[in-house]
Amino acid sequence: MGAGVMKSGGGGGKRRRRSRRGSQPMSEINVTPFVDVMLVLLIIFMVAAPLLTVGVPVELPKTAANPLPGEQEEPLTVTIAADLSISVMTTEVAADELVPMLRAVAAERDSDRVYLRADGAIPYEAVVQVMGALNAGGFSNVGLVTDVGGPTLDGQDGQ
């Protein structure tokens, strides 16, 4: 992307006299390499962005419910895995340490909303116990995270 030099005068059979400016700098920039680089970066970011989702892998149950509206701050996520281990965001927490940790987190947050992700294979009792701990920890607005495409209970599939 440097400046080139254009020679004044042209080919042809005649010889022309050269002026004092034997060559003039080319003031045009070739934009094609810039566009190529930007398109490659765009493709890289489009491919890499979905891979950046962080979380504990769980098999979420499917439902026909609509998603909740978004928020300004990053949502707090509590996950119950298939082996009944509990994670706050990506940090695994023992069951007896969950309420004190939630109280400390609630003191630093503006929102009382928390998202609960639970594996579909775990007993309902474990989910309710964690919901009670969330309430005791200062989070009264609990959203249950599910996958879309589940049954609608009207005899039709969700898809």
Q: Which residues contact 88 (CB under 8 A, 6 or more apart)?
A: 76, 77, 78, 98, 101, 102, 105
Residue-range domains of the chain with CATH: 76-145 (3.30.420.270)
Beta-bridged to residue 145, according to DSSP, are 117
One digit per residue, the tens of pLDDT, for the chain of length 159 reads: 555 555 555 555 555 555 555 677 777 888 898 999 999 999 998 888 877 766 667 777 777 777 666 656 777 889 999 898 999 888 899 988 989 998 988 888 888 888 999 988 899 899 999 999 998 888 888 888 888 777 777 766 555
Q: To which residue do tokens 């439902």 refer? A: 63
Q: What is the pTM for the complete model shown?
A: 0.54
